Amino acid sequence: MAVVDRSRGARLGALARYTALGVAAALFLVPFYLLFRNALMTEAELTSPTWHLLPSWRWENFTLLFSDPAVPMARSLLNSLAIAITQTLGVLVVSGLAGYGLARIPYRWSNLVFYAVTASLLIPAAVTFVPSFVLVSSLGWVSTLRGLIIPGLFQALATFLFRQFYLGFPKEIEEAAFIDGLGYWGTFWRVVVPNSGGFAAAIATITFIGSWNAFLWPLVIAQDSEAWTVQIALSTFLTAQSVDLAELFVAAVVAILPLLLMFLFLQRWIVEGVERTGIAGD
């Protein structure tokens, strides 16, 4: 009798759990549904007070967006892509090297340098945006790709995580390489780097997402429309005086499509990456 009761209770519990998850999942998908529906609607449908469950599948919205001379969408996409790719590769090299150096090369002031890295973690990067803007503008980098890319290459968090990762890297492999006469440089590139693929991929993913979605820094630096990133282009339309709604939603779809596809196809790998970096307490 008790066994039956418990299994009925368990079944009810499972039912409640699935209902809760199902409702939450539906709510989480609503914004995506709205985004794609609106992107394929006409202006009239978008402003009509009656609810349209499905759009009229107006695919021309996409060609209209890219042929609108007032909207530098193609240029913004190229900028975003260039920035995200260079920043990702740059962070991998710069932080990978620094993390390895901090973890493995004995040096008298090593700890002091490491404190400087961790202390800067506590200062939210956004708080320094005023002085950083002052610096970058005095270098003459406003509205240039340099100004958008270079300050983002020095990520204390990535360096910190790389250091943690290399501290746990099996030392025997490196010692063997050292005995074979490879110095720090050779050991790093020929032995350590080929064995840190998974971890580097995780850092790369996080950096790419952060770079693609960055807003405050590009807003401050990209003042000419030629230097706009996708996010700035979107934000400019969103806060403009008159908004072409259909174009706005198509632009938003174009802006999230690269990351969305990445998430759908590489989902498992990205999730493992986030877990693997050990951001949350290991």
Partner 1 sequence: MSAARRAPPWRRRLLGRQNQNLWFWVFVGPFFAGLVLFIYVPIAWSAYLSFFEAYNTVSPTRMVGFANYTDMLGDPNFRSSLTTFLVFAAFIVPTTFALSLATAVLVARTRVAQAFFRSVFFLPTACSYVVAALIWKMSIFSGVRSGLANTVLGWFGAESVPWLSVTNPPWYWLVIVSARLWLQVGFYMILFLAGLQRIGPHLYEAAAIDGATGWKAFRHITFPLLRPTSTAVLLLLLINAFQAFDEFFNILSSFGTYPPYARPPLVYLYYTALGQGQDFGHGSAGAIILTAVIAVIAVAFNRLFVREAD
Report in angstroms how near the CB of residue 136 gets to partner 1 at its nearest. Answer: 8
230, with CB counted inside 10 A (0-12, 13-18, 19+), is buried
Report in angstroms how near the CB of residue 128 gets to partner 1 at its nearest. Answer: 5
For partner 1, give the closer residue by CB, 116 or 173.
116
7 to 66, contacts with partner 1 by CB under 8 A?
A: 17-18, 20-21, 24-25, 28-32, 34-35, 38, 46-49, 51
Report in angstroms how near the CB of residue 231 gets to partner 1 at its nearest. Answer: 5
Take residue 249 and report the two structure tokens written for it.
């939603």
Out of 177, 202, 234, 250, which residue is the one contacting partner 1 (CB under 8 A)? 234
For partner 1, give the closer residue by CB, 165 or 212.
212
60 to 119, contacts with partner 1 by CB under 8 A?
A: 94-95, 97-98, 100-102, 105-108, 110, 113, 116-117
Report in angstroms how near the CB of residue 59 gets to partner 1 at its nearest. Answer: 19
Out of 78, 126, 167, 176, which residue is the one contacting partner 1 (CB under 8 A)? 126
**DSSP letters spanning the chain:** -HHHHHHHHHHHHHHHHHHHHHHHHHHHHHHHHHHHHHHTS-HHHHH-SS--SS----THHHHHHHH-TT--HHHHHHHHHHHHHHHHHHHHHHHHHHHHHHHHS--TTHHHHHHHHHHHHHS-GGGGHHHHHHHHHHTT-TTSHHHHHGGGG--HHHHHHHHHHHHTS-HHHHHHHHHTT--HHHHIIIIIGGG-HHHHHHHHHHHHHHHHH--HHHHHH--SGGG--HHHHHHHHHTSSS--HHHHHHHHHHHHHHHHHHHHHHHHHHHHHHHHTT-S--
What DSSP character marks residue 42? -
237 to 266, contacts with partner 1 by CB under 8 A?
A: 238-241, 243, 245, 248-249, 252, 255-256, 259-260, 262-263
205 to 224, contacts with partner 1 by CB under 8 A?
A: 209, 212-213, 215-216, 219-220
Out of 141, 188, 199, 228, which residue is the one contacting partner 1 (CB under 8 A)? 188
For partner 1, give the closer residue by CB, 66 or 189.
189
Backbone φ, ψ for residue 85 (5° rounding): -70, -50
Out of 56, 67, 111, 128, which residue is the one contacting partner 1 (CB under 8 A)? 128
Report in angstroms how near the CB of residue 249 gets to partner 1 at its nearest. Answer: 8
Report in angstroms how near the CB of residue 197 gets to partner 1 at its nearest. Answer: 19
For partner 1, give the closer residue by CB, 72 or 101.
101
Each residue 134-173 as x (binds partner 1 by CB under 8 A) or -, in order, gives xx-xx-----------xx-xx-x--x--------------
Show the beta-strand stretches assigned E in the chain.
none
